[in-house]
């Protein structure tokens, strides 16, 4: 199995490091050609406006939709979760992939001064884990066939729909491997 | 390490592989955002204007920064003078996402940089070599960039600083404990910090390049050397076609190792900023800071 980490912009190196620590074969995905070589894909954290533009220029928008619609598991963190959503409440300028049946709000907690760490409990994971919310988005509407795997202060923060996993936080910067393990089991 | 400092360091990881662009008004900020900038640096005068006009360069009017915060959804950074703690408090109150304690502005304190650990907002600082980078990190900087030579459109100093930092990191491996201790004393940093760099073979924070980057090829050159992202100051809005150049530099930063993309984005871009040779400069901004 080869895990691809979308490497257009953002903290793809941190996701690669988690894959490395789990001893999972992984490659950086910069072109549609690279995408053809992978069995799963991680959309990292980063700036969602930047990544969405680079997705389109490189033809990834249709290529990723085709792969996910034919069963490829995909996991988005923060910016990656925004890109998977059906729509963004407070920004119409970003074209999302519309693969995950949720609505999401960008920078929902405010500027960097409002970024925070939290201990979260996840369905199917034994111990609470420490993760970072960095200028994080908030999932504002959950559509049909979407399961909530974790919440924080009443907001869903980790959701799953079939083989699509999305989280509004960053397990990759606190060296947390639990979420990646969940993803690898999808 | 304070939690907010760690959050600032982790926030910097989200900029990686991206381009942070200097903008002087909301219209430029929107051009930068549309081009795919991962953040903007709000300032009243870009470095090349500061060079031409002279005078004391200070923190920008908060009204101008607030207008840019309102115009875009990407992170907004702003600059304060070296050592100017009060300017930094004002920008923190304004809730900018990052503060650049910058040599582009006229220094305010001839002895000390800002004690950045006292702030919740994260700081990025410039460095010309390993010791300077580690002094800034010791003071609480959550991100480092090369100083280069701002406002020149001349990439040579950014390359120099990137190489110096890398060569000095590599040289730590050859040092015995005595040599390491001497290096730490000379550079006014802790041995512990040096040991951690030796172990990790890199700086402990995200490291961008800045100062003189004017073309997509400049960005690719530095990314190929191991830079984690790029600041472009005067290079975009002093060029003939800022929107196209901004997009080209964004793509070149992502696809720095793909010559076909670099050829495509470098072709027919219009004129780059004029640029200056380093020996003729009246002010070397990289020499500011201690």
Task: Please state the domain extents for chain A.
Answer: 3-185
Mean pLDDT of the region B72-92: 98
How does residue B5 score in pLDDT terms, banded at 50, 70 and 90? confident
How does residue B3 score in pLDDT terms, banded at 50, 70 and 90? low
- B29 contacts chain A (CB < 8 A): no
pLDDT cut 70: percent of chain A above it: 100
Distance CA B219, CA B19 (A): 9
Q: How far is CA B241 from the centre of its chain?
A: 23
Pairing of strands B206-208, B230-232: unpaired
**Chain B residues touching A11 at Cβ < 8 A:** 13-14, 16
CB nearest A9 (choices: B3, B17, B33): B17
How many angstroms separate the CA of residue B116 from the nearest CA in chain A? 14
Give the residue from A137, A186, A138 showing the smallest Cα distance to A160: A186
Residues B238-253 have pLDDT tens digits of: 999 999 999 999 999 9
Residue contact A14–B75, C-beta within 8 A? no
pLDDT of residue A24: 97
Residues B136-194 have pLDDT tens digits of: 999 999 999 999 999 999 999 999 999 999 999 999 999 999 999 999 999 999 999 99
Fold adopted by A3-185: Rossmann fold (3.40.50)
pLDDT at B60 over 60: yes
Number of CB pairs, chain A paired with chain B, less than 8 A apart: 103
pLDDT of residue B2: 60
- B96 contacts chain A (CB < 8 A): yes
**What is the C-alpha radius of gyration for chain B, rounded to an integer number of angstroms?**
18
Pull the structure tokens for residue B15.
């900029």
Query: Does the pTM exceed 0.95?
Result: yes
Active site annotation includes A16: no
pLDDT of residue A92: 85
What ipTM does the predicted assembly reach?
Answer: 0.97
Residues B101-117 have pLDDT tens digits of: 999 999 999 999 999 99
Q: Let me know how long chain A is.
A: 186
**Chain A residues touching B95 at Cβ < 8 A:** 110-111, 113
Residues B114-125 have pLDDT tens digits of: 999 999 999 999
Distance CA B80, CA B60 (A): 8
Give the residue from B56, B57, B69 showing the smallest Cα distance to B23: B69
pLDDT at B4 over 90: no
pLDDT at B284 over 70: yes
pLDDT at B1 over 70: no
Give the residue from B127, B98, B129 showing the smallest Cα distance to B113: B127
First to last CA, chain B: 23
Residues A30-53 have pLDDT tens digits of: 999 999 999 999 999 999 999 999
Residues of chain A with pLDDT under 50: none
Which residue of A7, A9, A104, A173 is the best one to mutate when testing the B interface, meaning the one whose CB has the most B CBs within 10 A? A9
Residue contact A9–B258, C-beta within 8 A? no
Residue contact B14–A115, C-beta within 8 A? no
How many angstroms separate the CA of residue A145 from the nearest CA in chain B? 30
**CA-CA-CA-CA torsion sign (A175, A181, A182, A184):** positive
Chain B, 166-225: which have a CB under 8 Å from a chain A CB?
none
């Amino acid at each position: 199995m080869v895990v691809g980490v979308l490497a257009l912009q953002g903290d793809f190196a941190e996701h690669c490091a988690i894959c490395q620590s789990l001893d999972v074969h992984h490659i950086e995905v910069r072109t549609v050609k690279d995408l053809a070589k992978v069995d799963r894909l991680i959309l990292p954290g980063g700036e969602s406006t930047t990544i969405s533009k680079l997705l389109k220029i490189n033809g990834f928008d249709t290529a990723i939709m085709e792969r996910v619609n034919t069963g490829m598991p995909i996991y988005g963190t923060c910016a990656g979760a925004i890109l998977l959503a059906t729509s963004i409440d407070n920004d119409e300028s970003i074209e999302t992939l519309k693969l995950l049946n949720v609505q999401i709000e960008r920078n929902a907690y405010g500027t960097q001064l409002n970024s925070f760490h939290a201990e979260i409990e996840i369905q199917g994971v034994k111990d609470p884990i420490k993760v970072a919310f960095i200028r994080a988005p908030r999932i504002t509407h959950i559509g049909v066939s979407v399961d909530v795997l974790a919440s924080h202060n009443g907001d869903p923060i980790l959701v799953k729909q079939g083989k699509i996993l999305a989280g509004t936080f960053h397990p990759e910067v606190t060296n947390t491997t639990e979420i990646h393990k969940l993803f690898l089991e999808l | 390490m304070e939690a907010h400092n760690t959050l600032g360091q982790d926030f910097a990881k989200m900029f990686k592989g991206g381009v942070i662009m200097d903008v002087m008004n909301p219209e430029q900020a929107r051009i930068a955002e549309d081009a795919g900038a991962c953040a903007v640096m709000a300032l009243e005068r870009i470095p090349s204007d500061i060079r031409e006009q002279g005078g004391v360069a200070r923190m920008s009017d908060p009204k101008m920064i607030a207008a840019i915060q309102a115009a875009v959804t990407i992170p907004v950074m702003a600059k304060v003078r070296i050592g100017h703690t009060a300017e930094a408090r004002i920008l923190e109150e304004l809730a900018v996402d990052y503060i650049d304690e910058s040599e582009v502005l006229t220094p305010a304190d001839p002895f000390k940089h800002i004690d950045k650990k006292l702030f919740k907002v994260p700081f990025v600082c410039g460095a010309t070599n390993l010791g300077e980078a580690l002094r800034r990190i010791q003071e609480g900087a959550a991100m480092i960039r090369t100083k280069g030579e701002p406002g020149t459109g001349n990439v040579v100093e950014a390359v120099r600083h990137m190489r110096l930092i890398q060569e000095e990191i590599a040289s730590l491996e050859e040092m015995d404990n005595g040599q390491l201790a001497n290096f730490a004393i000379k550079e006014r940093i802790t041995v512990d910090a040096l040991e951690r760099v030796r172990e990790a073979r890199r700086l402990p924070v995200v490291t961008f390049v800045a100062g003189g980057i004017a073309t997509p090829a400049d960005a690719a050159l530095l990314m190929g050397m191991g830079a984690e992202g790029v600041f472009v100051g005067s290079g975009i809005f002093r060029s003939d076609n800022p929107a196209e150049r901004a997009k080209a530099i964004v793509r070149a930063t992502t696809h720095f190792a793909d010559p076909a993309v670099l050829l495509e984005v470098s072709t027919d871009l219009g004129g780059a900023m004029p640029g200056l040779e380093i020996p003729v400069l009246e002010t070397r901004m990289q020499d500011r800071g201690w």
